[in-house]
Structure 1
Amino acid sequence: MSKKNEKESSKPIPSVNNHSNKQKVWPTEQTQPEPTVPIKHLYKDGKFPEGEICELGQYDYKTKRFHPSELKPNTEEREEKLQEQLMEARQAAEVHRTARKWFKDSVVKPGMKVIDAAEMYEAKVRELLEADKKKSGLAFPLGCSINHVAAHYSPNGGDETLIGKDDVIKFDLGTHVNGTIIDSAFTMCWNDQYQPLLDAVKEATNMGVRTAGIDVRLGDVGAAIQEVMESYEVIINGKTHRVKSIQNLCGHSIERYHVHAGKSVPIVASSNNTKMEENEFFAIETFGSTGKGYVIEEGVCSHYGRKFTYNGDGSELKNKESRELLKVINDHFGSIPFCRRYLDRTGQKKYLTALRDLVNNGIVNEYPPFVDVKGCYTAQFEHTIFLRPTCKEVLSRGSDY
C-alpha cells in the first residue's frame, strides 16, 4: 500500500490564556519534556495536523473513487459540518498523540500504582484539551487492563494495584471535542519475552487499517486481521503460544457522542457483509491473546455509561438520590461513558446505591472487565480512521504506532 504522511502546515500563533485573571501569552511551541500548552493555542487558526493519509494500495483498492461522478454529493451545509467535525477529530487526535508520548516516555513505569499513572494521564489530557464537561475531554474511562484482563479495567478509588515489571498493560484512551471522538490504544511491557505478542497485535491492527475502506465488507476486515494475528507465536517462560484473535471483541463505528455506534468490525473471519461507507469514522481495534481467545465479564466494575438513547431527567425514578445522581451524569457526561473516579471528581459521595438503581432501571449501562483465562496475556492496539471520499485518514497515527 502506498502511504504518505501529510501534515497541514499551520504556524503556531501566540494565544491568550483567558482562564486566569491575568492574561497569559502562551509559548508558540509545545513545552518539553512535559507538554503544558493546550493544543488549540498552538494552532490558533483552527487548522490542526492531518493524520496519515492512505492512498490506493494492495489492500485498499476500494477506498478511492475513480471518477468524480462516483462521489456522493454533499450539500454545502453538510460539507461544512463534515469539515468542522474532521477538524475536531484532528484536534482530539493531536491531544492524544501529545499526551501519550509524554506518558510513555516520562510517566508510566513498573512499581507505580495503576491509579497514579491513570490520573496523571487523564489530567494531562484534560489540560491539553482545556476540558469542559461534555464539550471536550475524555471520551471514556482510561482503560488500564493488565495481563489476562483484556479491556474495561480502570482503577476505582483506593485501588492499590501496582504495575509489575512482568506485566503486559493496555492503555485505551479516548479524547473528544464536541463529541467527535478519537479512540486509540496501545500496549506496554518491560520484559522482552512478551514483545512478539505486542508485535502481532500491532501488525494485525495495521492490516485492519489497510484493509478498511469505502464499500469494504466488515467480515473481510476481520479475516485479514485474523490471518496476520494468528501467524505469530510467542515464547513465554520456555513455552510456545500461538497468538489468537479474541473472537468476541471487535472494533466499531463511531458517531458524535457515541463511541460504540451501529457497526461492529470483527477481528476474526465472519460472514458480516455490512459495508463501510463514505464519511464514516471507525475504530480499528484488535486484541490478541495467549489464552483461549475468548473473554467473559468478571471482576469489580468501574466503567459505566448512560444509555445513548435515554434523554429523560429521571422523573420516573422513585429514589431521590438516583434522580440527583442522574442529573450529575447528564450535566457532566451525557452519553459519554464514565467511571467511579470521575463521579468522585464531581464531589459525589456514597453514590453506589443510586448508581445501582440507575443500572437496574435501564438508564445506565455497566461494563465490567473483559477477561480471558487467568495466567494468559493479552494485548491491544487501536486506531481511529475516517473514510474520506478519495482516501482514508488514520487520525490517531503517530510516530509510536
Structure 2
Amino acid sequence: MSVADTTGADTAAVDQKLAELSVSSPADHGSTDAKSDDDHDQVDGEKKKKKKKKSGNKHKKKKGPGAAGQTTPPTIPVSKLFLNKYPEGHIHEYIDDNSYRTTSEEMRAKDRLCEQQVNDLRRAAEVHREVRSYARSQIKPGMDLADIAEMIENGTRTLVEENGFQSGIGFPTGLSINHCAAHYTPNTGDHVIIQNDDVLKVDFGVHVNGHIIDSAFTMTWNDRYDPLLQAVREATNTGIREAGIDVRLGDIGAAIQEVMESYEITLDGKTLPIKCVRNLCGHNIGPYTIHSGKSVPIVANGDQTKMEEGELFAIETFGTTGTGLVHEEGVCSHYAKSGDETVQPRIASAKKLLGTINKNFGTLPFCRRYLDRIGESHYYMGLKHLVDNGIVTAYPPLCDSPGSYTAQFEHTFILRPTCKEVLSRGEDY
C-alpha cells in the first residue's frame, strides 16, 4: 500500500464528496467432464446417488505455489497445508561491512529471538502468494473491479483463517487503473469494468498477529505496455537489492530512479520517458501499522536516514508516462485511524462509528465496503466528523495526469540479524 508525500494536500473536495450518498468510479472509465456412468444394470437410485456425489466436487485439487494439495480456487487454509512451518522467502546474504552477520553466533542467537514474528510473516506471505496466483489466473478484461476485490479478499479471509486481530486482511484491496496510481478500491455500488487497454495495479495485504505483508503487481492485456512494466519491476528489484542494515534511504531512492528513468516507451507513435512518481514511496511497517515512520523514496532526495536491524520494509516503485506527480482525485474509499487518542468525537454518530472502528480494525486501514459488510449504515456524516477532527485519516485515490499510465510492483522484506529475507517473493514476481 503506497504512501504519498503530499500530506498537506487540500482535502476539501474530498470531504464534500464523502458527504454525498452517490458513488462514482475512477475518472473517465467505463462501466458497463465428469466420467459417464456405463453401468446400465444399476438401479436409478444408485445412479442419482453417484451423480450427486460427483456434482459436489466443485474444487479441483492441484499443486499450488509451494502448496501441494491446494484447491482451485484456493480454499484450504495455509496452516493446514504447512502445519505451522511455512516456506521462507528469498534470502539475500549481507555483503561488505555486514558480511560477518551470516556466520556470527551472536547474530544467529538474535535471529532466534524473532522466530515467531518471521513465522507469522511467512504465513501471511504464503497466503498472499496463493491468493494472487489464483487472482492473476482469473482477472481479465470484462470483469468488474468489485468482483475482483471480493475474490481477493474472500480468498485472503479463508486462507489466513480470519480471526479478529489475530489474522486477516492487512488493508483494502487496491485496484487502480491507468492514470490512477493508488488508493482506489470500489465502494459499494461502484461498477468499473476492465478494458483491454487498461493498466491495472493490484495491491493487497495480509496480516498475522499484526505482522503485515504488503505486496503489489501490475497486469496488462496489451504488450505495448511491456517496457513500462519491465521498468517498474526492475526498479523495485533494484531497491530490494540495495536495501540493507545501515543503508541510507536516499541512496536507495537514487538507485531506483537511475534504473526506472533509463527506460522509455512508445505509445501511439510517441516515444515517452518513463518517470518515477516522485511523491509516492515505500515505507517501513510496524505491528498493525502499515506506514510506520520511515519512507523509502524512489528518487534521489538526499535522505541520510538509515535502515536498521530488525526493521520490516515494503519497497514499492511507481513508474508513469505522465508528469511524475500524483494528486488526490475522486471519491475516497480508504481510511485508517490516526492513532491520536487525545481527541474524542463530539457527535453521537461519530462516537458509535469510532467504537466500530476500534473493535473491528484498530489501526489497520479499512474501506467503506468493510463498514457496509459488518452492518454499519448511515455513517457518512460520522465518518466525515472523524476525518475533519483528525481521528481518522482519509486516503483518496492518487492520480497522475489524465491519459497517462502508471504501473507498480512491491515486495515486503525484513532485515533479520543474519540476512535480508524478501518474504513476499514468488515465482511470478
- Same fold by TM (over 0.5)? yes
| Aligned: 1:49 with 2:81 | no
Q: 2:71 aligns with which of 10, 24, 32?
A: 32
Correspondences of 1:374-389 after superposition (within 5 Å): 374-389=402-417
| Aligned: 1:194 with 2:225 | yes
Inter-CA distance 226–62: structure 2 relative to 1 (3 Å threshold)? farther
Correspondences of 1:207-222 after superposition (within 5 Å): 207-222=238-253
Q: Report if the CA contact (8 A) 1:64-1:214 is conserved.
A: no
Secondary structure of the 1:285 match is strand
**Rg comparison, structure with higher value:** 2
> Matches of 2:302 and 2:105 in 1, distance apart?
27
Correspondences of 1:138-149 after superposition (within 5 Å): 138-149=169-180
> Matches of 1:99 and 1:73 in 2, distance apart?
32
Q: Report if the CA contact (8 A) 1:126-1:138 is conserved.
A: yes
Correspondences of 1:96-111 after superposition (within 5 Å): 96-105=128-137, 107-111=138-142
Partner of 1:342: 370
Given the two structures, how large is their TM-score scaled by the length of structure 2?
0.81
Inter-CA distance 63–252: structure 2 relative to 1 (3 Å threshold)? farther
Secondary structure of the 1:176 match is strand
Partner of 1:162: 193
Secondary structure of the 1:185 match is strand
> Matches of 1:238 and 1:375 in 2, distance apart?
15
Q: 1:329 aligns with which of 344, 348, 357?
A: 357
Inter-CA distance 68–203: structure 2 relative to 1 (3 Å threshold)? closer
> Matches of 1:382 and 1:363 in 2, distance apart?
29
Q: Give the Å deviation of 1:109.
A: 0.8
Q: Give the Å deviation of 1:133.
A: 2.5
Given the two structures, how large is their TM-score scaled by the length of structure 1?
0.87
Q: Report if the CA contact (8 A) 1:62-1:213 is conserved.
A: no
Partner of 1:352: 380
Unaligned runs of 5+ in 1: 1-25
Deviations, residues 274-316 of structure 1 (Å, cap 9, x unaligned): 1111111000110000001111111110000001x3347x8x4
Q: Report if the CA contact (8 A) 2:102-2:418 is conserved.
A: no
Q: 1:371 aligns with which of 392, 399, 405?
A: 399
Q: Report if the CA contact (8 A) 1:63-1:391 is conserved.
A: no
Deviations, residues 102-154 of structure 1 (Å, cap 9, x unaligned): 0001x211011111111111110111011123221111111001000011011
Q: 1:92 aligns with which of 124, 131, 138?
A: 124
Alignment: residue pair count: 365
Secondary structure of the 2:143 match is coil
Residue identity (%): 55
Partner of 1:10: none
Inter-CA distance 195–263: structure 2 relative to 1 (3 Å threshold)? same
Q: Report if the CA contact (8 A) 2:172-2:204 is conserved.
A: yes
Secondary structure of the 1:145 match is strand
Partner of 2:165: 134
| Aligned: 1:295 with 2:358 | no
Q: 1:65 aligns with which of 100, 103, 127?
A: 100
Q: Report if the CA contact (8 A) 2:102-2:419 is conserved.
A: no
Which moved further from structure 2: 107-116 or 65-74? 65-74
Partner of 2:340: 310
What's the Cα RMSD here?
A: 2.0
> Matches of 2:187 and 2:297 in 1, distance apart?
30
Inter-CA distance 62–258: structure 2 relative to 1 (3 Å threshold)? farther
Q: 1:266 aligns with which of 268, 286, 297?
A: 297
Q: Report if the CA contact (8 A) 2:101-2:107 is conserved.
A: no
Counterpart residue identity of residue 122, structure 1: E
Inter-CA distance 62–354: structure 2 relative to 1 (3 Å threshold)? farther
Q: Give the Å deviation of 1:61.
A: 3.8
Secondary structure of the 1:125 match is helix
Q: Report if the CA contact (8 A) 1:33-1:102 is conserved.
A: yes
| Aligned: 1:180 with 2:211 | yes
Secondary structure of the 1:42 match is helix
> Matches of 1:51 and 1:365 in 2, distance apart?
32
> Matches of 2:290 and 2:109 in 1, distance apart?
24
Secondary structure of the 1:286 match is strand
